[in-house]
Each structure stands twice: as C-alpha cells, then as structure tokens.
Amino acid sequence: MKFILFCQNNYAYGILAPIRDVLIAQKLEFIWYVDQKLKPDFPYNTENNTSKITDLETYNSDIIFVPGNEVPYYLRGLKTQIFHGLAGEKKGHFRIRHYFDLYLTQGPYFTKKFRELKNVHKNFDVIETGWPKLDIYGKDKMAYKARKSRLLDTYNADADNILLYAPTFSPKLTSAPFLISQLETLATKNKNKLILIKFHPLMHEEWIAKYKDLANRVANISFQSEKNIIPFLMMADILISDTSSVIYEFLLLDKPVITFNNISEKIFWENSKNFDDLETLVQKNLTEDPYKASRNYIKSQFHPYNDGKSAERMVSATLNYITEHGVPGKRKLSILRRLKVHSLFGKPSKNN
C-alpha cells in the first residue's frame, strides 16, 4: 500500500506526524506532498517528499490523508478527510465539497452529523477514529513539564502561571484587534504571569507585527513562532481565545478557557462580550475554575479517545476499507469544483 500525506498548510505537520510514525512502524510506503510555500519550514525534508502534483500522479497511491479542504480529484487513491480542527461551529466544517471518499471523524458529535450528510449525498463513507494530533494527550500529558519550568524561569523566577493567547485568524471572528491593550495591561499588572502569543499560520500580517512589537516591549509577553501549537497547549494553565478550534483541543486537557464573542451554539467555558473583562476573568477562572464540570460534554462528544492510538485507527480503517471496497474510482465533480482544483493544483496530466 502506498500513502500520501497531503500538506497545504503548515498546521498539517502536527496532524499528520502521528500517522507518519505509524506508517514507519508498520513499514508502509508513503510520500509527503508539501505545498511549495511550506518547503522552508518542512520538518521532514530527509523523507520522501514533493511539491509537484505530477509526482503524485505517477506515484500511483492507494490512500491519501488530507487535513485540509481540497485534494486533486484526479489523483489515484482513497481520498481521506482527517480534518484540521474540532470547531463544528466554524463555517464550512460540515460542508460537503465532494472531494473525499472517506471521512475519519474525531468523536460522536462529528460522526452523527457526517453520517446524516452521508445519507443525503451517498458518495462517501464515515468512520470514527479519533484525531491523531491529540494522540500525545493519551501517551504523555507531562511531556512538556520540564520545558514549562524552564520557560517560566527564563522570564521570571517568581512566575507561576502560563497564559496562552491563541485567537482565530478569521477577520470577522478574531479578537486580536480588541485584546492587544488588555493583554498589555494584564501582563504589566501581573508580573508573575507569563503570556504566550500563538497565532494561526493565516493570521493577518498586521496583527502579527503588532503583537511581536508588544512582546518586544513587555518582558512577560512572548510571541511564539513554532508551528505546532500542542506544546503550548500542554504547558499553558489557561487559554484565551475567541472562535478558534484550538479551544476544544485545550478543553480536552481539562483546563479553563476564556473566549470573547464566541459563536458556538453550546458554550461550555467562560465567554464574554466585554473585552475589558479580561483581567477579572483570568483571575476568576484560574482560582475558581467554574466550568470544570461542563468540560465533560466536550470530552465525551468531541474526542473521547484517551489511548493515544487515533493514528493507528486511521491507518487500520483505510487499509480495511481498501481490502473491502478496493481503491475508489475517480470522483464525479461539478465543473466549478474541477476548476477550483485546477486553480489550486493545476490540471491533470494528459495521460490521467
């Protein structure tokens, strides 16, 4: 069996890496597809990889793992959607784009909705496996304990908490324009708190520049450029955000979250419409943690897997699918979907 690990954005590395580890352990052949713009920071350059779709056409794959929204319809292989977040309220999360043969879902909440959509469209299958990016939660929740201690000591010997600010990049949903002064005030008045800024790769350059400047001016604010957010989630004591899918990743660690103007229908954490409440809410949630009991719903419905084996389940699910059904034929797409793929990845070669 031959696999493609398909990366359009650099957040895909942390999602696909556990699958890559399983493929290596099981001695299965794979190639990374890495969009050309990502090549400078691709962490697996010594492994088989390409930025050319034509190479993937000749690779003749059996299974393609995709944590993004698009994949070339003309590539051979079981086109498998594995998702890039847990935010079901985000526009487009449940949109069926007809590129995928199989959806591997993270938990019952997602499985139920995609099975309902399967009954409507009848051109894909759904299997619940859990999400590989969170496998480390089940394997070693203390993986970054020593790094956290070193980080706190680096900024202040008396620092006792790490606050992580990780907003969405969406212009309509991001809190970045409204919290910059509040975060500065919070840091200035609370020297024993270290605030880490971790932005989505697609965050607007204007806000990246302004928050980097803030970190340069305020000693206990640090702007983080590391691509994988998992280390920061595991080190942080509290998350500050808005309508980012990272909220759910953090809640699964059983730690408090504060959001501003979150659009979720069901909110199981502290949400405020008043940006001036930041300092009060941080203190309240660090000391009282009033939403601790509410987090059980997220754990049971969004990602109930604590064994660290979601990547293994994904590989097994796809291998079993191929054994039972064979490699699917070419996807039937509307002309508009075909043109979208052509604009992103180019047209198929003449012999495809």
Give the pLDDT of residue 352. 58
Residue 351 has pLDDT above 90, yes or no: no
Give the pLDDT of residue 245. 87
Angstrom distance (rounded) from CA 186 to CA 180: 10
pLDDT: is 90 or 67 the higher one?
Answer: 67
Q: How confident is the model at residue 91 (pLDDT cuts 50, 70, 90)?
A: low
Give the pLDDT of residue 195. 96
Residue 56 has pLDDT above 70, yes or no: yes
Tens digit of pLDDT for each residue in 208-236?
999 999 999 999 999 999 888 999 999 99
Residue 22 has pLDDT above 90, yes or no: yes
Tens digit of pLDDT for each residue in 242-267?
999 899 999 999 999 999 999 988 89
- Share above pLDDT 70 across residues of the chain, in percent, rounded to a whole number: 98
Tens digit of pLDDT for each residue in 271-310?
999 999 999 999 999 999 999 999 999 999 999 999 999 9
Give the pLDDT of residue 154. 85
Indicate the pTM of the whole model. Answer: 0.87
Q: How many CB atoms lie within 10 A of CB 306?
A: 14
- Share above pLDDT 90 across residues of the chain, in percent, rounded to a whole number: 82
First to last CA, the chain: 20
User: Could you tell me the two tokens for 229?
Assistant: 């957010």
Angstrom distance (rounded) from CA 18 to CA 31: 14
Cβ neighbourhood burial of 124 (10 Å; 0-12, 13-18, 19+): buried
Give the pLDDT of residue 332. 87
Tens digit of pLDDT for each residue in 113-125?
999 999 999 999 9
Residue 92 has pLDDT above 90, yes or no: no
Tens digit of pLDDT for each residue in 124-154?
999 999 999 999 998 877 788 889 988 888 8
Residue 65 has pLDDT above 70, yes or no: yes
Give the pLDDT of residue 328. 95
Give the pLDDT of residue 286. 96
Angstrom distance (rounded) from CA 284 to CA 45: 45
When the pLDDT of each residue in the chain is averaged and rounded to a whole number, the result is 93
